[in-house]
Amino acid sequence: MNALFTAAACALAVLSSVHAETRIRMGHFPNVTHVQALVARNFSREGKGWFEERIGGDVKIDWYVYNAGPSAMEAMFAGSVDVTYVGPSPAINAFARSRGREVRIVSGAVDGGAALVVRPDSGLKTGADFRGKRIATPQLGNTQDVACRAWLREQGLKISQLGGDAFVIPMPNPEQLSLFVAREIDAAWTVEPWVSRLIREAGGKVLVEERDSVTTVLVSSVKFMKEQRQLLDKIVKAHQELTDWVKANPEEAQRRVVAELSELTKSKISPELIAAAWPRIILTNEINMTSLETFVKNAQEAGFLRKVPDLHLLVAAPSSSSAPSDKQPAKDLP
C-alpha cells in the first residue's frame, strides 16, 4: 500500500512540474537585423538561455522562424506566437487590421540594415532608370516592400501592387540572390545579411541605404500582455539588457550570430559576411515615432492601409497596455 502511495505521489509530482512549466512562444527571422533573437537563441542552444535565466522560474522559450513580417503577424493573429521580432510595417498593418486591439510594440530593436542593391551591369543610377525594371522585396507588404514602393513613387514612377512603371516582385531572400546572379531581377530591396551577400557574391552595388529607418521592433500580442503582464515586463527588460550586451560585445555577438544562422539555414555562414553586415545595423531600444508615422503614410499610399487607429496606442510600455513612448497621455481602445 505504501509503495502504491509513493508511486502515486511521485506521478503527481512529475505531472505538477510539467504543468508548472511556462512556455513562451517567440518569433524572429533568420536575418542579422534580428540580432537579439539570434544571439538569445544561440545562448539557449548552449543551455545558457538569455531570456530563461532572467525571467526565472520554470520557463521555456519556443522559437519560431518566419521569412518576413506578414507571416509573423498572421501567426500572432492565429494565437501561435506570443512575442516576435518584426518590421514596423507589418506591425502597423496588423494594428490597423485589428482596429488597434491585437498587437503592441513593446521595444525598439534595430534601425538600419536595409538597402536597395542593384546589379553591377544594370545601369541603374537614378529613379528614372527603374522604368520597366524588376525589383525584388522579401514579402508583399513587409517593411522593405513598402519602403521600395515609396521610394519609386518619390522618383516619379507610378507603382501599383500589380505593376506600374516598374515591377516590385516579392520573393524570399534566398531566391533574390539566385535570381540576381541569373540576371532575372535587376535589383533587390532587402536586409542584412542579404545586402552583403548580394554585394560579396554577386557584385551588387548599394544605391539606397536606410540608415535612420526603423527596421526591427519587438511586438507582443495584446492577449499575452493582458494575461502575462509581469512576464512580459521581464521579457522586455531582458531584451533591452541583451541589446546593451550586444553593443558592448560585438565580436562575441557576431560569433553567436554566425553559429545560429549556420544552424538555422543549414549552410556555412562566414564570419567575414557578418562582419561586413554589422556596421549597417544600429542597435536600439528606442522607438522612433516619426519613422513609424512615415511607414503609415507610405503604406497608405501603396494601398496596404486605409484608416489607422491612434498610432500612439500601438507603442506600449509592457506595464501599461497602451502607454505611448513619447509620454503623451494614453487613450483607451474602443
Min mean pLDDT across 19-28, 56-65, 170-179, 321-330 is at 321-330
Residue 27 has pLDDT above 90, yes or no: yes
Residue 331 has pLDDT above 60, yes or no: no
Contact, 200 vs 273, CB < 8 A? yes
Residue range 51-67: average pLDDT? 90
Q: What is the spatial distance between Cα 205 and Cα 121, in angstroms, rounded to a whole number?
A: 10
2-111+214-313 CATH, one of 3.40.190.10, 3.40.640.10, 3.40.50.720, 3.40.718.10: 3.40.190.10
Q: What is the spatial distance between Cα 75 and Cα 81, in angstroms, rounded to a whole number?
A: 6
Q: What pLDDT, in 10s, does the model give residues 126-173? A: 989 999 999 999 988 888 899 999 999 999 999 877 778 999 999 988
Contact, 10 vs 18, CB < 8 A? no
**Residue 16, pLDDT score:** 43
Percent of the chain whose predicted confidence (pLDDT) is above 90: 65
Min mean pLDDT across 3-7, 45-49, 92-96 is at 3-7
Do 2-111+214-313 and 114-210 show the same overall fold? Answer: yes
**Strand order across the 22-28 sheet:** 59-65, 22-28, 83-86, 214-221, 103-112, 281-283
Domain ranges of the chain: 2-111+214-313, 114-210
Q: Write out the CATH class of domain 114-210.
A: alpha beta
Q: What is the spatial distance between Cα 96 and Cα 90, in angstroms, rounded to a whole number?
A: 10
Task: State how far the alpha carbon of 15 is from the alpha carbons of 10, 162, 241, 327, in Å.
Answer: 9, 54, 34, 46
**Residue 269, pLDDT score:** 92
Q: Which amino acid would we find at residue 55?
A: I
For residue 10, what pLDDT band results from cuts at 50, 70 and 90?
low
DSSP character at residue 230? H
DSSP character at residue 315? B
Q: What is the spatial distance between Cα 190 and Cα 179, in angstroms, rounded to a whole number?
A: 14
- Coil vs helix vs strand at 317: coil
Q: What pLDDT, in 10s, does the model give residues 190-239? A: 999 999 999 999 999 999 998 888 999 999 999 999 999 999 999 999 99
Q: What pLDDT, in 10s, does the model give residues 289-303? A: 888 998 899 888 888
Position of cell 521579457?
A: 235
